[in-house]
Chain A
Amino acid sequence: MLGEGILKGLGETARNFVGSFVSEDRLTTVEYPEQRLLPIENTRDFPFLVYDGADPDAGLRCVSCQICEKECPPKCIYIVKSTDKKPDYVGKPQFYPARFDIDISVCMSCQICVEVCPFEAIKMDTEFELSTDDRFGGLILDKHKLAKSNEHFQRIHPTEAAEVDARLAEEKEKVEAKAKAAAEAAAAKTAAESAAAKTAAESAARKAEDGSSGSDAEGVKP
């Protein structure tokens, strides 16, 4: 019969229409600003800089090595390296970014900066409500807008943050152990040196005594 296929199709749409009143899984949309879907954990959009502790300026993990600037495919990162050094999270003096800008109108959220960063300093954010009426300045994020705490990172990507924190703690432990070992070695060395110096002085004194007592073993030849 002509029209049978159309009727069959209309039956399918009717099933969906009526079903949307009965079954929850036929309702696929939400009323966005009032209702929100749960965020998906791995979601990424734009990068941010992680800082430890309370002070964004002092705790910034970035040491301004500029690898992300070089590897960024659309070249949206702009870094000016500092001229002085500040202690980093393990206490080692490091450079810090005097200026760190990301132009998020150029950024394509590819995550390559995160992959290449050896210091776990740059991570991907999930904040997507970023619209602004300033097309140029408003979309360039500077160091202060980019800096977000490690707690924020732990909140948005808990699994990844736990891995990163474990890795950093291990590294810090290693560095501290190394420093401790180095300090112990240095202390032992100084002790050994002073002991050696002492013995040397003693033996020299003994020798001098020997010399004065008449032995000519070390005596100056005429």
Chain B
Amino acid sequence: MSDLAIQSYLPPVIEVESQDELLEVAMGPHHPSTHGVFRMDVALDGERVVRLKPVFGYLHRNHEKIAEKTTYLASMPYTDRLDYFCSMTNNWAYALAVEKLAGIEVPERAEYLRVITAELTRIQNHASAIGFLLQEMGASGTPLMYAFREREIILDLFESLSGSRMMCNYMRFGGCRVDLPAGWLDAARQVVAGLPRFIDEIEALLTSNEILMARSQGVGILKPDLAINAGVTGVMLRATGVNYDVRKVDHYGIYDRFSFRVPLGEHGDIYDRYMLRVLEMRESVKILEQAIPQLPAGPILDPKSKPRGFRPKPGEAYGRIEAPKGELGFYLISDGTGNPYRYRVRPPSLINLTILEDMCLGQNVADVVLIFGSVDIVLGEVDR
């Protein structure tokens, strides 16, 4: 990794016979393939993409500025709305940043609960990401419905734990909000026991499917040096063969205690990204199988933490985790008052999307939809 030179970079220029013959198409903002309100201004030479300009900001909700005007705790429910598929990991990243800022210790049981909920989140996110990718490939419904069926079971667990399916608002500075309700752990054990069957089913349905292979192998290739220079993280980066997982690199939480592997791709194409998501689900199941029996008894919240009047000492902190979509970080500066002086989100969706043009240039317009889908973004996090 160290021998890669960091240099100024421009996307390649696609040769065309005549600039006047190009057709400009605005894909979006209300395009069924755009996962939300997002626009791609594409210049086409026949079927070939010559230029592509992503236009963000349709879903901008001023998250960072609102967070600077409210208390630390009041930003917690807003983080659910960043990447609304993975509210548990968003909560964790923000709680981690605040805990670093204020030096709060997290009890053992809360750490385990965080790992369990985060890995369940990763599984349901990857399952739906695969479903959406196949939906965009034209497999209308079936893979997505299979993924959503499994996702619903996991969301039921989240609902009985935190009260809400998607907007969990579960973690607090120094632990978690509530302890497990009666019978939750058995239900979770049952769900986890059923997950390998679901992953086998998805693999039987898709992995050797010739249409999927024809549409995705060798399409939307991302080179490792470009991925590193652009700051791409998560599945997108690992599909190019770069071994970088924040869980292994940063040792946050208690991930050191579990044995799991980081699957790596080779070609950096769409098929690699699909395959990596399947393999990561299997690794997450492995983590869950280790974490659920080990769950210790004890408090779930640091006894010193209180809901009101939280004022950390002046300072700054950056907390980051491996969210399902990549490295999710929160950067906070405290000036000693009840509100953060600066609150910044490093959203993996936005940064993984910045190399969209490089992956799409020279490809067919039908593949743009697939390449975009394989990035796995949520517009709530891109625009914030």
Total interface residues in chain A, CB < 8 Å: 30
Task: Name the A residues within 8 Å of B298 (CB-CB).
Answer: none
Q: Which residues of chain A from 110 to 155 have a CB within 8 Å of any chain B CB?
A: 110-112, 115-116, 124
Evaluate contact between B161 and A42: CB separation under 8 angstroms.
Answer: yes
Task: Name the B residues within 8 Å of A124 (CB-CB).
Answer: 163
B164 within 8 A of A: yes
Q: B204 touches which one: A12, A40, A67, A73 (CB < 8 A)?
A: A12
Contact with A along B159-178 (1 / 0, CB 8 A): 11111100101000000011
Q: Which residues of chain B from 65 to 122 have a CB within 8 Å of any chain A CB?
A: 70-71, 73-78, 80-81
**Which secondary structure characterizes the binding site on chain B?**
helix
A13 within 8 A of B: yes
Task: Name the A residues within 8 Å of B195 (CB-CB).
Answer: none
In the complex, identify which listed stretch (A2-10, A172-180, A213-221) lies at the interface while the others stay far away.
A2-10
* Closest B residue, CB atoms, query A108: B77
Evaluate contact between A5 and B209: CB separation under 8 angstroms.
Answer: yes
Evaluate contact between B74 and A5: CB separation under 8 angstroms.
Answer: no
Task: Name the A residues within 8 Å of B81 (CB-CB).
Answer: 108
B308 within 8 A of A: yes
B293 within 8 A of A: no
A41 within 8 A of B: yes
A43 within 8 A of B: yes
* Closest B residue, CB atoms, query A117: B307
Bound-state CA distance A116–B177 (Å) is: 12
Task: Name the B residues within 8 Å of A116 (CB-CB).
Answer: 307-308
Task: Name the A residues within 8 Å of B212 (CB-CB).
Answer: 5
Bound-state CA distance A134–B146 (Å) is: 38
Task: Name the A residues within 8 Å of B205 (CB-CB).
Answer: 8-9, 12-13
Contacts A9-B204, A42-B160 given; does A73 touch B213 at CB 8 Å = no
Task: Name the B residues within 8 Å of A44 (CB-CB).
Answer: 163-164
Task: Name the B residues within 8 Å of A8 (CB-CB).
Answer: 204-205, 208-209
Evaluate contact between B74 and A73: CB separation under 8 angstroms.
Answer: yes
Bound-state CA distance A43–B155 (Å) is: 12
B225 within 8 A of A: no
Bound-state CA distance A40–B184 (Å) is: 12
Q: Which residues of chain A from 79 to 136 have a CB within 8 Å of any chain B CB?
A: 108-112, 115-116, 124
List 13 extra interface pairs beyond A43-B164, A71-B71, A116-B308, CB under 8 A: A2-B210, A5-B209, A6-B209, A41-B181, A42-B159, A42-B160, A42-B161, A42-B178, A43-B159, A71-B308, A73-B70, A108-B77, A115-B177
Interface residues of B (CB under 8 A from A): 70-71, 73-78, 80-81, 142, 146, 149, 152, 156, 159-164, 167, 169, 177-178, 181-182, 201, 204-213, 307-308
Closest 5 CB pairs of A and B: A5-B208, A110-B77, A73-B74, A44-B163, A9-B205
